[in-house]
Amino acid sequence: MRILRREDYKVMPWKNGGGITTEIAVFPPQSGLSGGPFQWRVSIADVAANGPFSKFAGYDRFIMLLDGQGMRLEIDEADALDLLPFRPVSFSGDWTVRGTLTGGPVRDFNLMVARQFGRGSLVCQALSSPLNLMSDGTTRLIHLIEGETSIGGHVLASGETAILTGMERAVLSPLASDVLFALCTIYHSA
C-alpha cells in the first residue's frame, strides 16, 4: 500500500497550456506530462474559464466535479455531458471537448487510462461503516474527498490518497461522521 499526502502531489500546467493540474499519481512513475507516455494518471484540475480540454488520444477519461456548481462538456463526436458534483462521467480522450462553466470556477477529479494498458472506472461514495477492499489484481486508488478514515494502519485526511495494487487488500474505516471518497479502479489487460 502506498499513502500519498498533499505534499507528494505535483502541480503542472495543462497539456494545452490553458490551466493548472495537480497530479496525484501516475504510472509508471516519472511519466505523464513531465515525461513519457503514461498507462494511467489521476489528477485534480482547477478550471477558472471556459475552454478546450487537452486531447489524450488512446486514453479513456473519467471525470467528476469536486467543487463548483457545474460544467457542460460540448463534444464534437458525441452528445454533451453535464458535470455535477460527485457524479462521474466518462468520455474518449480522442474526442474534441470544450468545457463551459455553468456557475463560476470548478475543481474536477480525473482518471485517465491508456486503452492498450487496460480499462478504468471511477465511483464516488459515502462511507458510514468499514469497507473491505479485497485483493483482486487491480490497481485501486482511494482519494478522500471529505472527512477522515483509517486504512492499513494509516490515517487519511481530506485530500489524501491510498493506492492498493495487485493482491493488496485493506479495510477502509470512517473516523468521522461525513466521509466521502473517490475510488478509481484500473483493470490491467492480460
Q: Enter the C-alpha cell of residue 176.
A: 468521522
* Strand partners of residue 164: 140
pLDDT by residue (tens digit) across 65-111? Answer: 999 999 999 999 999 999 999 999 999 999 999 999 999 999 999 99
The CATH architecture one would assign to domain 2-116 is Sandwich (2.60)
As a whole number, the mean pLDDT across the chain is 93
Q: Enter the C-alpha cell of residue 4.
A: 500519498
CATH superfamily of 119-188: Jelly Rolls (2.60.120.10)
| Spatial contact of 152 and 2, defined as CB atoms under 8 Å apart | no
- Secondary structure of residue 34 in the 3-state scheme: helix
With 80 as the cut, is the pLDDT of residue 16 above it? no
pLDDT by residue (tens digit) across 166-182? Answer: 999 999 999 988 999 99
pLDDT band of 123, cuts 50, 70, 90: very high
Return the domain boundaries, the chain. Answer: 2-116, 119-188
Share of the chain above pLDDT 70, in %: 96
CA dihedral (18, 24, 27, 31) in degrees, to 10, reads: 40
Q: Which long-range contacts (CB under 8 A, 24 or more apart) does 79-88 make?
A: 83/108, 86/124, 86/145, 86/180, 87/124, 88/62, 88/63, 88/64, 88/122, 88/123, 88/124
Average pLDDT on 122-142 reads: 95
Q: Do domains 2-116 and 119-188 have the same CATH topology?
A: yes
| Spatial contact of 186 and 113, defined as CB atoms under 8 Å apart | yes
pLDDT band of 33, cuts 50, 70, 90: low
List CB contacts of 106: < 8 A, sequence separation 6 or more.
46, 47, 65, 67, 68, 69, 70, 71, 83
- The whole-number pLDDT of residue 168 equals 95
With 80 as the cut, is the pLDDT of residue 63 above it? yes
- The pTM for the full model equals 0.93
